């Protein structure tokens, strides 16, 4: 049995055998997955073919988020599910959540609906929610071996933008729902499904979903968020801050000698920005040694990454300004009172100000930090019943369970912090392939995930796991 931190798995997994009738249902639904293999691959390819690019990306080809949601709605309605599509209300979310993680000012949702659906059978037992996002990052044909929204099948993989992040997870969830129907199995309890927009730009779609669950008093006992984890069981995800660091200089002809800046000479904003970047890398080294930046379920400490640099306006002039876009990671243990990354924001601000004091120009012209995004972190105890159920379900279908955290942000925090829903992050595909050219998903991993989701549903809703 694999594990990140082996003692933990031994601690939380009990030696117990599921009832024979439950295992019979598992074998039946897994056989249905094998029998309907081609149809399940078609679901994945159909989702990829919708260019549901989040509109914030400059290389957007025109978002088909609504068309993708309509496809999912039709799929579920054909199974007699009750489906609701709605466009989140930014003004209402502003009133309730301004300044909190998940809320992003200026976001609009015209033609960008969320979807929440419920299975037709209502049970008296537990409930489970399968959730994911339909939006993807931008893509164009440049560098791809096939068009990014063609969903080509080649060498046992499906290629396309979103194959990993996260049309694969969404398709596997729909496939698990379909497989239960094809196997004529109706688990006790309630099964819910949600697909949201705007995850790739802050998570406001999931904030709207969590607000709806809370406001309507919907009882959700546990949720699976299908982000790519390579089928590892993740009870933890990092929080992410996006910051824009503005460094000011003074323009001047780049090819001539200048007097000191006190006498009106030019100051290269790019050179000053590079000094700050070097100091931030020194801070990264300090973080690498600090226990507060590490977690036993993550392979490396939190880091500050430079994601983008913009500076200069002419090849013959020194830059009068340079913008540096930062991606800053934080842990659940570092959350502020709102559940966000306020403590880490202050840490970065204090550090940048301290560095600026060591440079005469920056001392008089201090860098400015504009915070663009706070995507919250998430954690539940690894011995939570939902985590244990996922481990048991993977073992039941002969997969080797691994418990570890997700290094990125995912939309789990809002569901827990706003709606009180415990979440496990589990999905097909390797996160490192997300957002890349030639993004692709292994078909065998995808089909294993379909079986895993169906088995998790059966286990979580059964009386066996509720004793």
Out of 165, 198, 199, 407, which one is annotated catalytic?
199
65 is catalytic: no
Q: Give CA–CA dist 286/14, Å, rounded.
A: 39
Task: Using CB atoms within 10 Å of the CB of residue 372, give its burial: 0 to 12 exposed, 13 to 18 middle, 19+ buried.
Answer: middle
Residue 265 gets which letter from DSSP? -
Supply angle C-alpha 201, 423, 95, rounded to 5. Answer: 50
For residues 243 and 367, the answer to whether their CB atoms sit within 8 Å is no
3-state secondary structure of 90: helix
Q: Give CA–CA dist 220/214, Å, rounded.
A: 10
Beta bridge partners, 128, equal 191
Out of 135, 268, 376, 411, which one is annotated catalytic?
135
Closest CA to 414 of 384, 376, 380: 376
135 is catalytic: yes
Peptide bond into 234 cis (omega under 30): no
Q: Give CA–CA dist 443/157, Å, rounded.
A: 5
Q: Determine the angle formed by the axes of helices 443-461 and 37-49, rounding to 10 degrees.
A: 100
Closest CA to 302 of 348, 238, 244, 346: 238
Q: Give CA–CA dist 360/292, Å, rounded.
A: 33
Q: Give CA–CA dist 365/362, Å, rounded.
A: 5
SS3 for 350-399 is HHHHHHHCCCHHHHHCCCEEEEEEEECCEECCCCCHHHHHHHHHHHHCCC
Q: List the catalytic residues.
A: 135, 199
């Amino acid at each position: 049995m694999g594990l990140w931190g082996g003692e933990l798995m031994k601690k939380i997994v009990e030696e117990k055998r599921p009832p024979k009738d439950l295992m019979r249902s598992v074998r039946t639904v897994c056989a249905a997955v094998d029998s309907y293999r081609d149809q399940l691959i078609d679901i994945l390819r159909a989702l990829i073919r919708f260019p549901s690019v989040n509109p914030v990306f400059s290389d957007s080809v025109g978002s088909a988020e609504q068309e993708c949601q309509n496809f999912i709605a039709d799929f579920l309605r054909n199974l007699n599910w009750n489906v609701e599509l709605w466009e989140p209300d930014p003004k209402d979310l502003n009133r309730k959540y301004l300044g909190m993680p998940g809320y992003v000012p200026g976001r609009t949702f015209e033609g960008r609906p969320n979807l929440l659906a419920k299975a037709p059978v209502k049970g008296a037992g537990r409930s489970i929610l399968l959730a994911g996002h339909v939006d993807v990052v931008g893509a164009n044909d440049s560098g791809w071996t096939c068009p990014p929204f063609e969903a080509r099948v080649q060498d046992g993989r499906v290629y396309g933008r979103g194959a990993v992040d996260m049309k694969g997870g969404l398709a596997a969830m729909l496939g698990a729902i379909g497989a239960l129907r094809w196997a004529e199995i109706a688990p006790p309890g309630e099964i819910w499904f949600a697909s949201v927009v705007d995850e790739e730009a802050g998570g406001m779609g999931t904030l709207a979903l969590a607000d709806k669950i809370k406001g309507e008093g919907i009882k959700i006992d546990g949720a699976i968020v299908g982000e790519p984890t390579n089928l590892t069981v993740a009870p933890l995800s990092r929080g992410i801050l996006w910051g824009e660091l503005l460094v000011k200089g003074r323009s001047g002809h780049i090819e001539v000698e200048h007097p000191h800046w006190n006498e009106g000479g030019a100051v290269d904003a790019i050179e000053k920005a590079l000094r700050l970047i070097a100091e931030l890398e020194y801070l990264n080294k300090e973080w690498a040694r600090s226990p507060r930046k590490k977690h036993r379920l993550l392979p490396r400490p939190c880091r500050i990454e430079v994601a983008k640099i913009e500076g200069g306006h002419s090849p013959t002039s020194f830059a009068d300004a340079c913008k540096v876009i930062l991606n800053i990671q934080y842990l659940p243990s570092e959350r502020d009172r709102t559940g966000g990354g306020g403590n880490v924001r202050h840490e970065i601000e204090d550090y940048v100000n301290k560095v600026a004091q060591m440079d005469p120009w920056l001392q008089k012209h201090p860098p400015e930090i504009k915070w663009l995004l706070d995507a919250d972190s998430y954690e539940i105890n690894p011995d939570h019943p939902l985590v244990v159920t996922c481990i048991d379900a993977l073992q039941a279908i002969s997969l080797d369970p691994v418990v570890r955290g997700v290094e990125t942000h995912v939309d789990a925090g809002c569901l827990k912090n706003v709606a009180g829903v415990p979440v496990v992050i589990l999905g097909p595909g390797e996160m490192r392939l997300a957002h890349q050219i030639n993004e692709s998903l292994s078909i065998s991993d995808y089909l294993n995930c379909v079986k895993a989701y169906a088995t998790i549903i059966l286990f979580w809703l059964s009386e066996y796991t509720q004793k």
